[in-house]
Copies of this chain bind each other. A is one copy, B any other.
């Protein structure tokens, strides 16, 4: 059991926070909008609390669950208060019609976050290939992730396992861009027959 901080109060923050709380973790919700954070913490219930945007989060693992365009900026605003934290980038930098991504190899949102985060922080890409509704179902689930720091990845993988998810390591942070494209693949499959209840996985 650990404390997880989530920056954001939308659909994904809700799904991840609710599932984490169900599996015994303490969840802290942090939003620029304190009322929204409070509402989500109440919905999650249990020991869920509200943190202050820009201040040091309670959790060692911090899920950055804001829209991709604002993700690096949000992390930058926390400055040194994110020192030593594991930052989980869940963003999907889709273009307007979700036919591709607006990022390029070597410049994924994860890598942009790593550039503005404290040097002692570690960035992991994950959860961007799963619909929030699928996370919320609380069923067994494969989760792809990528990151450069072995210890941070091991800690994150243990968290996933504790939430009934199977961690699947896709490699270093350079693989984050492949995961961003996997988000496009998932959208394509969902829109062409697989549906929005489907999830990518490994057999």
Q: Tell whether, in the assembled complex, residue A198 and residue B203 are in contact, meaning their CB atoms are under 8 Å apart.
A: yes
In the assembled complex, how far is the CB of residue A191 from the closest CB belonging to chain B, in whole angstroms? 7
Once bound together, how far apart are the Cα atoms of A193 and B169, in whole Å? 7
Q: How many residues of A contact B (CB 8 A)?
A: 32
Copy tally for this chain in the complex stands at: 2
Q: Tell whether, in the assembled complex, residue A202 and residue B201 are in contact, meaning their CB atoms are under 8 Å apart.
A: yes
Q: Tell whether, in the assembled complex, residue B192 and residue A188 are in contact, meaning their CB atoms are under 8 Å apart.
A: no
In the assembled complex, how far is the CB of residue A197 from the closest CB belonging to chain B, in whole angstroms? 9
Residues of B contacting A189 in the complex (Cβ-Cβ under 8 angstroms): 144, 168-171, 202
**Which of B99, B170, B191 interacts with A192 by CB under 8 Å?**
B170
Residues on A close to B: CB < 8 A?
Answer: 99-100, 105, 141-142, 144, 146, 168-171, 174-175, 177-179, 181-182, 184-185, 188-189, 191-194, 198-203
| Further contacts, 20 of them, CB under 8 A, given A171-B188, A199-B203 | A99-B174, A100-B177, A144-B185, A168-B194, A169-B188, A169-B192, A169-B194, A170-B188, A171-B189, A171-B191, A175-B184, A175-B185, A177-B181, A178-B188, A179-B185, A181-B182, A181-B185, A194-B202, A198-B202, A200-B201
